[in-house]
Amino acid sequence: MPRKSPRSRRTPGRKVRVPGTARHRVTPGRGRAAARARTRATAREAQAGHAAARAKRPAVARRPVARRAAALRPASRRPVAARPAAIRTSSRARFAPPDPARVAALLGRLERLYPDAKCALDHRDPFELLIATILSAQCTDARVNQVTPSLFARYPEAAAFAGATQEELEDMIHSTGFFRNKARAIRECCADIVTRFGGSVPRTLEELTSLRGVGRKTANVVLGNAYGIPGLVVDTHVTRLSNRLGLTRERDAVKIELALMPIVPRGRWTQFSHWLILHGRSVCIARKPRCSRCPLLPDCPRFGVTASE
Ligand code: SF4
């Protein structure tokens, strides 16, 4: 049988394709236009899906992504407010506990500087010291010492304070400042002492801090100075000096107390607080410490000090 040429095999009437012209597709959905439409539809669906998923995701889960994106951004385009937080975190992470030999040298110098350091609030017993300490908040010790003699003459015990009226107590302590809050705290604290402790000031930190208006600082003052039970008092001076001396990087009073406990020998806790308070008042003052005449200078890293005398 003779071989037919390709031209002769073509179906009669079928259009011959001219090279360079678009090919006619008969199968639906297989052409380039259909493929483009499919791609567009898929992209739309994906976009809608992402948006729905984003809306459902909790805010917390999105945060790390935002942080990663912020970290990848060039430093010059990062928000200014974000930078100090990063600096603070890294400086805290770098803090190492102080060298015990340096701490021992500091304690020795402080002891020689303030051999007679003691509580500056006049008192005859734990109860008077408790009331005087409540009054000393935001007030000088000298002012409190002017007020307390007449106060204790009129109200000699907890029951007398608990029975006093708010107005008459406010009048008596007016000059110490914040007299309304202080009068309320004293009355409520004394009512607690009478009803729960039989009129005697308790001897433990837990019991003392359970009294209304009494915090850790007041409790440690009473324990250390009236009962002889060691207690670290953390006030504004102790906070500032323990940071400058490189003993801690904490700013919170309770965290500072916990940080100092393993560094300072327990038997010196009460004295250590007195030493730092006295040194903070006379030499290491808040605004411009007198470093050039400070005996602690050889052992002080002067952390955070930007200007000094
Ligand atoms: S050297 Fe300066 S910063 Fe350090 S304790 Fe003395 S006064 Fe304060």
Residue 298 is predicted with a pLDDT of 94
| CB-ligand 1 contact for 123 (6 Å cutoff) | no
Ligand 1 proximity of 264 Cβ (cutoff 6 Å): no
Domain locations along the chain:
100-117+233-299, 126-226
Nearest-CA residue for atom 3 of ligand 1? 302
Is the shortest distance between the CB of 240 and ligand 1 below 6 Å?
no
The answer to whether 176 touches 139, Cβ cutoff 8 Å, is yes
- pLDDT at res. 49: 58
Indicate the pTM of the whole model: 0.69
Residues of the chain with pLDDT under 50: 26, 58-63, 65, 75-76, 78-91
Q: Active site includes 217?
A: yes
Judge if the beta carbon of residue 289 lies within 6 A of ligand 1: yes
Tell me the DSSP string of 188-239: HHHHHHHHHHTTS---SHHHHHTSTT--HHHHHHHHHHHS--------HHHH
For ligand 1, what atom is nearest to the CA of residue 290?
A: 7
Q: Is the CB of 113 under 6 A from ligand 1?
A: no
Q: Classify domain 100-117+233-299 at the CATH class level.
A: mainly alpha
Q: Looking at domain 126-226, which of 3.30.565.10, 3.40.50.1370, 3.55.50.30, 1.10.340.30 is its CATH number? A: 1.10.340.30
Query: Is the CB of residue 229 less than 8 Å from the CB of residue 129?
Result: no
| Spatial distance between the Cα atoms of 223 and 257, rounded to a whole number of angstroms | 15
Residue 177: how many other CB atoms lie within 10 Å: 14
Task: Please write the tens of the pLDDT for every residue from 184-208.
Answer: 999 999 999 999 999 999 999 999 9
Q: What is the Cα–Cα distance from 5 to 292, expressed in whole angstroms?
A: 112
Hey, which of 299, 305, 306 would you mutate to test ligand 1's pocket, going by the most ligand atoms within 8 Å of its Cβ?
A: 305
With helix as H, strand as E and coil as C, how does 255-294 read? HHHHHHCCCCCHHHHHHHHHHHHHHHHHCCCCCCCCHHHC
Measured in whole angstroms, how far is the alpha carbon of residue 154 from the centre of its chain?
A: 42
Active-site pick, 217, 255, 288, 299: 217
Annotated catalytic residue 288: no
Token code pair at residue 153? 């003459």
Q: Does residue 281 have its Cβ closer than 6 Å to ligand 1?
A: no
Q: Is the CB of 291 under 6 A from ligand 1?
A: yes
Probe target for ligand 1 pocket from 102, 109, 110, 244, with the most ligand atoms within 8 Å of CB: 244
Q: Which of 118, 235, 252, 299 is catalytic?
A: 235
